[in-house]
């Protein structure tokens, strides 16, 4: 059910998506310029999890071209409502194998590939569904966080070799969801490490790293995709 803002004006605090976007784009440019990069090489993925389709529509109107969702089912609902072609759809959350087919059917990019089993399943499904190409990132766990998804660094070569043998999966680069630190500077060594791995494994490949509170540091360390939610849409 959608409650009209006028009916709950006391709690309703408008988040000006267009203003927030303008601000973030400026900060992206400033961070890029600080390290001599071109801001055009950095893609902003607007993380829209827990926000309704109407909010995404407002974001599209304000110039957003790519959305990130962390759950297949939630994302699918919005993609169906808004339209597959209306934006680029990125799955950024952990993908369970029983949701892999739905994910292949609706998402353009999957950021969270972290096992050969999952990769093999996605490849099989793509062939099955006649999908020529699916862009994927390998999510790396640099902190040894048992609770999070992501592949330990030591297992990367094997998965990457497998991805390179795939017909449909296109290995785009590496993705990182680092531990949370209040001070974004504390995340810098993780961003830096991911970049070094990228240079080693897939020179010139993409780096999906940086969120609302640390995307500027991520850009200084080479991010080519930043995934920003709260700073665009407000608190979830």
When asked if residue 212 is in the footprint of ligand PLP (CB under 6 A), the reply is: yes
Q: How far is the CB of 17 from ligand PLP (least distance, A)?
A: 14
Q: Strand, coil or helix: what is 82?
A: helix
Buried b (16+ CB within 10 A) or exposed e, 144-176: eeeeebbbeeeebeebbebbeebebbebbbbbb
Residues, the chain, total? 236
Q: Which helix (H) or strand (E) holds 192?
A: helix 188-201
When asked if residue 209 is in the footprint of ligand PLP (CB under 6 A), the reply is: no
**219 neighbors 35 (Cβ within 8 angstroms):** yes
Dist. CA 225–CA 99, nearest whole Å: 24
The sign of the CA dihedral 34, 198, 41, 71 is negative
Q: Which of 177, 202, 207, 219 binds ligand PLP (CB under 6 A)?
A: 177
What does the radius of gyration of the chain's CA atoms come to, in whole angstroms? 18
Q: Where in 25-64 is the site for ligand PLP (CB under 6 A)?
A: 47, 49
Q: How far is the CB of 15 from ligand PLP (least distance, A)?
A: 12
Q: Strand, coil or helix: what is 228?
A: strand
**28 neighbors 219 (Cβ within 8 angstroms):** yes
When asked if residue 174 is in the footprint of ligand PLP (CB under 6 A), the reply is: no
Q: Which of 93, 150, 173, 222 binds ligand PLP (CB under 6 A)?
A: 93
Q: Strand, coil or helix: what is 173?
A: strand
Query: Which window, 34-42, 127-135, 156-164, 225-233, contacts ligand PLP (CB under 6 A)?
Result: 225-233
Query: Which window, 1-9, 79-87, 101-109, 221-229, contacts ligand PLP (CB under 6 A)?
Result: 221-229
When asked if residue 228 is in the footprint of ligand PLP (CB under 6 A), the reply is: yes
Indicate the residue among 49 and 124 with the shorter CB distance to ligand PLP: 49
Q: Which of 20, 48, 55, 70 binds ligand PLP (CB under 6 A)?
A: 70
When asked if residue 17 is in the footprint of ligand PLP (CB under 6 A), the reply is: no
Q: How far is the CB of 191 from ligand PLP (least distance, A)?
A: 13
When asked if residue 229 is in the footprint of ligand PLP (CB under 6 A), the reply is: yes
Q: How far is the CB of 184 from ligand PLP (least distance, A)?
A: 11
Count of beta carbons in the 10 Å neighbourhood of residue 88: 17
Q: Strand, coil or helix: what is 141?
A: strand
Q: Which of 92, 106, 151, 218 binds ligand PLP (CB under 6 A)?
A: 92
Dist. CA 219–CA 208, nearest whole Å: 10
Q: How far is the CB of 212 from ligand PLP (least distance, A)?
A: 3
Closest to 219 in 3D by CA, of 228, 227, 232, 210: 210
| Residues found near ligand PLP in the complex (CB under 6 A) | 47, 49, 70, 92-93, 177, 211-212, 227-231
């Amino acid at each position: 059910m959608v409650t009209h803002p006028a009916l709950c004006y006391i709690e309703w605090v408008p988040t000006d998506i267009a203003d927030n976007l303008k601000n973030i784009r400026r900060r992206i440019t400033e961070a890029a310029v600080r390290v001599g990069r071109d801001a055009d090489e950095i893609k902003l993925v607007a993380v829209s999890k827990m926000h309704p389709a109407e909010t995404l529509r407002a974001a599209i109107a304000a110039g957003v071209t790519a959305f990130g969702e962390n759950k297949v089912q939630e994302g699918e609902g919005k993609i169906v409502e808004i339209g597959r072609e209306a934006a680029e759809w990125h799955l950024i959350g952990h993908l369970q194998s029983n949701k892999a087919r739905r994910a292949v059917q609706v998402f353009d990019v999957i950021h969270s590939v972290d096992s050969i089993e999952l990769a093999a399943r996605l490849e099989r499904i793509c062939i099955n569904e006649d999908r020529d190409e699916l862009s994927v990132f390998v999510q790396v766990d640099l902190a040894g966080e048992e609770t999070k998804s992501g592949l330990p660094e030591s297992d990367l070569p094997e998965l990457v070799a497998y991805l390179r043998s795939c017909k449909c999966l296109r290995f785009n680069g590496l993705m990182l969801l680092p531990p949370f630190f209040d001070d974004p500077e504390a995340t810098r060594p993780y961003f830096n490490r991911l970049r070094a791995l990228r240079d080693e494994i897939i020179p010139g490949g993409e780096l999906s790293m940086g969120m609302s509170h640390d995307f500027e540091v991520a850009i200084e360390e080479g991010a080519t995709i930043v995934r920003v939610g709260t700073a665009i849409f407000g608190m979830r």
